[in-house]
Structures are given as C-alpha cells and as structure tokens.
Structure 1
Amino acid sequence: MIELDAYVGRTETARDTADAERIRLLAATLDHGGQPWKAGMLPPLGHWLCFRPDAPQSALGADGHPARSDTSFLPNVDLPRRMWAGSRVRFLNDIPLGAAMTRTSTIRSAVHKQGRSGAMVFVTVEHSIAAGDGGPAIVEEQDIVYRDAPTPGAPLPRGEEADIAADAAVRRIAPDSVLLFRYSALTFNAHRIHYDRDYTVREEGYPGLVVQGPLLATLLMDHHLREHGPDRIGGFEFRAMSPLIEGDAIDLVAAHGDGETRLQAIGPRGLAMAAKVTLR
C-alpha cells in the first residue's frame, strides 16, 4: 500500500461559472416544467454540475474514470472500485447564476481500513467554493471509498431496514437508463457503470446499470424542495448505504421536523441512502 500521509494537505484549485443552461437542463432531467428553486440562483447541490472533469480521452482508464497516477490529486490507490460514499455540505451564501466561481480542494484525511469485504481506503476531501471575490459560499466535505472488487457471483449488499414515519411524504420513482445517461452527461461523468450495461455486468459484476450516488442525493433534495420549497436551506448531508440498479422501484421519503428534513431512499434491498436537510 502507498503511504497515504503524504497526500494529506494536498490542494488543487479549479474555476468555473454558475452556468444557467446546465441548471435549466437539470430541471428538465428532474422532470420540472419550471425551476423549483430560487430564481437566478444556483440551486442546492447545483455545484455538483460545476467543475466537471476534463481529462483527455487518452487519459481515461478502462472504467471511464481518469486513470490514476502518482501525480493525480487523489491517492493512487491500488484498489479497483472507487465510490462517493457521502458528503456534508454547508450553504453559506447564494451564488448567482452567471457568477465566476473558484473551488479550492484539500485532502483532509486518508486512512487504510480492513472491512468485511477486504482492504479499504477512506479519503475525505474538503471543497470550498467562492463566487467572485467573496468568501466561501459552499463548503463540502466529501467521503471517497476505495475497495476490492467483490467475489464473482456475490449478491448485492443489502441496506438496513427502513422505518418510515406515519406523516412522511413518499414519492416513488424508478430511474431508467435514460435518466442515468442524462445525469452523467450533465456532470460529464464517464464512469461506465452508469451507461455501459455490457461492461457493468461483465467486468463489474452488477446485474445492470448503477444509479449514481449524487443523482440519488439530488433526487432526495428535489423531494424536499417539492414538499417544502427552497427557503432557509443551510445544510445537506447524505450517506450511501447500498447500491441501486436501473429500474429499481425507489421510495423517496421525507419526514419534516423542527429545523430539518430527514430523507431516505428505500429500494428493493433496503435503505439505499440516508440524508438530511438542515434549515437556517
């Protein structure tokens, strides 16, 4: 294994614009006639459509991700699977559409662990996003997990059983390959498990295309927005629990309490994602 301590504190800077066209297309992807967020402002989690990867085609690995190297920002971990396992986001100020943005990313921690499925590496990256010449408008801690490939033929991991509050708002969806493709196009995500079914089944061992974690988190945020509107959102956090496959029936669950909305995505294998919106 590589020496992970050498990566802690590493930084990189990226620049982009809060592009109104991407946000209009996000609204269409989420099946809105209009836009259910503050007019003229980047919506909650809209920053995930910004700072898109720009590796040349020749620099991509077999899975469609940029090939790892010792000069990459993230650790060059010798484990085949990488997943975005969770995030904690603070929304400090609105970002107007059209504004120039700067993102400063810092590796805060990188540790080896041994799980039931084998060796794992956990990396936490902090992204601080500023608009124009102002201070941070969005600060996100992102958890990235590297792990071994599963044993061929192993069943998909199950999430814990979900407990739905009696007064919770529930919306059922079934993401298909078109939705997965459109979201990958919006984020310029070339990871093949989201659009190349033959590769996904043959090489990765999944029974079908895999629903993107950030898409599922965006659908949960959208469920909150549909129920409670865009005002007073101060934070969002999510944790991925188990994978979802194209066509899975998913219940999006929102339970609104004092100062927060508890969110769940429940699929055929139990709880797939747990999330929370906190209000200012």
Structure 2
Amino acid sequence: MSELRTERIAASTVEAYRGTFAADDPALTDGDTLPAGWEGVFFPFDAVLADLRPDGTPARDGIIPEIDLPRRMYAGETTEFLRPLHLGEEVTRTASLGSVVEKNGSRGRLVFVDVEREYAVDDEPAVRTVWHDVFLEAADPDAPARAPRPDPAVVAEADWQEELTLDARQLFRFSALTFNTHLIHYDRAWAREVEGLPDLLVHGPLTRILLMDAARRNAPGRVPVRLDLRAIAPVLVDLPLRIVGRTTGDSTRVTAVDPDDVVLATADIDWRKTS
C-alpha cells in the first residue's frame, strides 16, 4: 500500500503555522528555507468522511490496513533531514506502509504500525520519516491510572528551557491545518469519557514540531540531520509545558515535561554545523 502526492510549499500555510505557534520567528517568503519539522503541516490527511473511524482517524487511507481496535495514538517518529526544503518548491511525498507488529500488554492487545514517508524535490530526497502509530483497545474507566514518574534531574541538568501553554484555539488551528479530525483534540466529552483523559490531548505531531522549534532556537549555526522522537505520556491542553534541552557534542536531547517534572516526550536531534 502506498500513496503519491505533490504539493507546493505555500507561504500561506507556513504563515498560518508561524502566526499560531512561532510568532517570534520572522515571516518567510518564497525562496526562504522551511524550518526543519514544518514539513509536518503539509500534505494534510485526506480520507473522505465515510472512511473515518468513530474517533475521527482514518480507517481507510490507502496506506494502513483496517485495524480492528478502536483507539489510535501517535507514538513518535524517526526523521532524516537530507536537504532543506524552500518555500515555493513543488514537493512530492511518497507514503507507504512499514512494519505492522501486534503485541499484548498489561492493558490488552496493541498493534504498532509504521508509516514511511519521503519528501522529494525534482526526484531528490529531502526528508525521510517513519511515523510510529499504535492502535489500542477501548479505555477501561475502572483501570487505575498509571502513577506519574517525575524526573527533576531532566530540568535541573538542562542547558536551556522554554515554557508555553497551549490552548484550545491552537489545537483547533493545528487540526484545521493538518485536516486532523481525531476527536481527542477538540471534543472534551470524547477525550474524557471515551479516551479516559483529563482533558484535550495536544497533537503528537505538533509536539514534535514544537520540540524541533525550541531546539533550533537554542542551537544557532547548526542544522538538524536526524530526529528520533518518542511520545511517553499525554500532553494536555491548558497546562504549562516546559521544553528543556541538553547538548552533548553534536547531539541534543530535548524533553517535554509537565509542571510536576513528569517526562511527556523526548527527542534526540543530531546536528551538523553550517558551512
């Protein structure tokens, strides 16, 4: 199963993201370099309404086979940045099915699915990424919540930190930009009563870009060549989020933590210096 699509890196889409999540960055125009990670707001989901699951995620998208589990979550991704993308370029994205692995965990059956994507300009690969999703059984409202695991050392040992709080307006805008209809991001009743969360969930792919943005701002003169991101715990709307980073040599570990120092996501970024 695979999909081939072509899209222009439009300044209007870039400005929609920048104005919502990176307002301190300069505005960009055609010919400017697209910040690494921002390719994630292009090629929005395009499954027709009839091909959505009850939770709003695609059931039939021509890539992932139908999975007979009701919940779908972003678990992370691995990305290689081979060459910069630029505003105005025509980009061809190829998406295909990677590995599909079924497991049984403490809370039932899980299916891990990888989607492999390549972004190319004039047949030259620019970005390669493997997106990790997990499909889960229905949430059990009577199951005890997992005890949080604070890690104060992550913050104490960081070279830098940034703080932000994402609200429902921003989640709505990211859903609109990426045509993401997963109810967990905008329907509080669904998030609480079906998914068993305290509130709306911040998109995993948005957390990925925010971690990349923070790392980029704190690594002048460096260009990312690889990103390995792991989603660990839910990032929730309206709660302060700290993004902290520590650099060793040519690698930076970026971590998202909640107000209680609980680790929510980690990203390892490898850099090269600009010439």
- TM normalised by structure 1 equals 0.88
Contact 2:76 2:230 in 1 (8 A): yes
> Which amino acid in 2 is paired with 1:96?
H
Structure 2 residues not aligned, in runs of 5+ = none
Q: Which residue of structure 1 aligns with residue 186 of structure 2?
A: 195
Equivalent position to 1:273, from 261, 265, 273: 265
Identical-pair percentage = 32
Q: Which runs of 4+ in 1 moved over 6 A?
A: 36-39
Partner SS for 2:218: helix
Distance 1:37 1:109 in 2: 37
The size of the alignment, in residue pairs, is 268
Q: Look up the match of 2:114.
A: 124
One-letter amino acid of the structure 2 residue matched with residue 64 of structure 1: G
Stretch moving more, 84-93 or 152-161: 152-161
- CA-to-aligned-CA distance 1:136-164 (integer Å, 9 cap, x gap): 11011111111112211445545643332
What is aligned with 1:135? 124
Unaligned runs of 5+ in 1: 1-9
1:103 maps to which residue? 93
Structure 1 counterpart of 2:69: 79
Q: CA RMSD in A?
A: 2.2
1:149 to 138, 148, 163: 138
Provide Cα deviations, 1:53-82, integer angstroms capped at 9, x if missing partner.
Answer: 12233433322223x24x742021111111
8 Å contact from structure 1 (residues 108, 126) kept in 2: yes
Moved more, 195-204 or 111-120: 195-204
Whole-angstrom distance in 2 between the partners of 1:229 and 1:15: 31
Report the AA paired with residue 102 of structure 1: T
State the Cα distance separating 1:203 from its structure 2 match: 2.6
Contact 1:37 1:229 in 2 (8 A): no
TM-score, normalised with respect to structure 2? 0.89
Amino acid corresponding to residue 239 of structure 2 in structure 1: D
SS of 1:232 mapped into structure 2: strand
Check the 8 A contact 1:156/1:243 in 2, yes or no: no
